[in-house]
Amino acid sequence: VWSAVPSGPPDPILGVTEAFKADKDPRKINLGVGAYRDGNGKPYVLSSVKKSEERILTSHPEKEYLPITGLGSFTQNAAKLAYGEDSAPLKAGAVAVTQSISGTGALRIGGAFLARHYPNAKSIYLPTPSWGNHTPIFRDSGLEVRQYRYFDKETVGLDFAGMVADLKAAPENAIVLLHACAHNPTGIDPTVEQWKELSDLIQEKKLFPFFDMAYQGFASGSTSRDAFALRHFVSQGHQVALAQSFAKNMGLYGERCGAFSLTTADAEEKARVDSQLKIVIRPMYSNPPMHGALIANGILSDPALYSEWEGEVKGMADRIISMREKLYTTLNDLNTPGEWGHIKSQIGMFSFTGLTKPQTQALAEKAHVYMTADGRISMAGLNGNNIDYFSESVSKAVKG
Ligand code: PLP
Ligand code: TYF
């Protein structure tokens, strides 16, 4: 039956982990997938998460189905975390929100909902480059995927003029995907002033902003500072779509905990949108998993656990920043050709090193150092034990 099915390519990010696993060299380093590692290179379960989980095990032993849109207290708290306590649409009961299968599922629900109900254009504009899964998610949702310029190779910074020009040229009513903070893969975000300009432009052009917030807290170490762009847009009267993930900021990767929301005109409109979100979700997976949402909600609803969690997010962000500084210094100490300032100025989980595809291949083959072919490294994979070896390997690869 399947003789005509062609082999497909592996996921460019998760494929790196496969190559890493197959390597037997003890010096090997995996900087492919964006998953936090502690100072010893080990996966990290947050203490606030452990405590919340312990409470669940004693207080919530049953395994009933959740409603289609998930655990209501969790989705309300997730929306509060993103939009802020004082958000006007939240206070007005005008935010339609549903639990999702982490950030990926939130993007997919959003794509499907917009393809079905957004009355205008059916195209979505993504930054170049963007997270590799964005294109297939939105294409499979039934939207036409287009691009706007984002990364400037020359300056290793934001191509703000190119971004503005492409958004100006986009047809009225097109959807624009924006990384809310800690852009993946470049680690480069617009400044506050640039976000304000983007908000005005997107309003003027009647574009529809769709925020992907997979790293709230990871960019600056503060969840509210990282929500600036989203909150600014909402304060300026935009109606927005938002995909949230708790994979990174709570370390809940495999629990698949996230939320999708839309701000609407009022409570009556919200109720209609809610009813259609349910109709989108029900044939996909009926209702979401419970455990991760209970853990996240336990943290978001308890002031003591919440502040412990905030400290832990900041701790992860700070460790990454210290690795950026060390990498920058060591590359310079080794007289590595090139300007490496971007390692320090980029933010969030990743650094877009500027290493070329042949250099990344050489690093894998000769040094057992793995990263994605675009030269992106997950900074969290670096630690005090491997950063010298990594810096020396990069320096050698660049010197050729
Ligand atoms: N969006 C971006 C930009 C990401 O980097 C990721 C990956 O972590 C996601 C969304 C979704 O990830 P998850 O489905 O694990 O929450
Ligand atoms: O960019 C990353 O590394 C994360 C994790 O198919 C990820 O977003 C990567 C690939 C993928 C799912 C998650």
Tell me how far the alpha carbon of residue 291 is from its chain's centroid: 21
pLDDT tens profile 149-203: 999 998 889 999 999 999 999 999 999 999 999 999 999 999 999 999 999 999 9
- Which parts of the chain have pLDDT scores under 70? none
- Domain span at 28: 14-44+318-399
**Do 118 and 261 sit in the same domain of this protein?**
yes
Ligand nearest to the CA of 16: 2
* CB burial of residue 108 (10 Å; 0-12, 13-18, 19+): buried
State the amino acid at position 229 in one-letter form. Answer: A
Specify the pLDDT at position 327.
97
**Domain total in the chain:** 2
**Do 128 and 212 sit in the same domain of this protein?**
yes
What is the model's pTM?
0.97
Which is the closest atom of ligand 2 to the Cα of 131?
1
Within-domain flag for 55: no
Looking up tokens 């993007």 gives: 107
CA distances from 184 to 220, 224, 335, 353 (A): 15, 19, 28, 13
Does the beta carbon of 34 lie inside 6 Å of ligand 2?
yes
Specify the pLDDT at position 142.
96
Within-domain flag for 148: yes
CATH of the domain at 179: 3.40.640.10
Which is the closest atom of ligand 2 to the Cα of 12?
10
**ipTM value:** 0.96
CATH of the domain at 360: 3.90.1150.10
Within-domain flag for 59: no
**Do 112 and 155 sit in the same domain of this protein?**
yes
Does the beta carbon of 267 lie inside 6 Å of ligand 2?
no
**Do 261 and 322 sit in the same domain of this protein?**
no
Does the beta carbon of 309 lie inside 6 Å of ligand 2?
no
Within-domain flag for 357: yes
Looking at 189, 212, 226, 274, which residue is catalytic? 212
Within-domain flag for 264: yes
Specify the pLDDT at position 27.
95
pLDDT tens profile 369-397: 999 999 999 999 999 999 999 999 999 99
**Do 212 and 343 sit in the same domain of this protein?**
no
Looking up tokens 């289609």 gives: 68
* CB burial of residue 98 (10 Å; 0-12, 13-18, 19+): buried
CA distances from 64 to 57, 60, 67, 71 (A): 14, 10, 10, 11
Within-domain flag for 306: no
Specify the pLDDT at position 170.
96
**Do 273 and 335 sit in the same domain of this protein?**
no
The residue nearest atom 8 of ligand 1, judged by CA position, is: 214
E strand intervals along the chain: 29-30, 95-101, 123-128, 144-149, 151-152, 157-158, 175-179, 208-213, 241-245, 257-263, 350-352, 369-370, 376-378
Specify the pLDDT at position 14.
86
Q: Which residue from 178, 210, 212, 374 has its CB within 8 A of the most atoms of ligand 1, so it is best to mutate?
A: 212
Does the beta carbon of 378 lie inside 6 Å of ligand 1?
no
Provide the mean pLDDT of the chain. 96
Specify the pLDDT at position 60.
74
Q: Which helix (H) or strand (E) holds 233?
A: helix 228-235
Q: Buried (b) or exposed (e) across 28-38, using 16+ Cβ within 10 A?
A: bbbbbbbbbbe
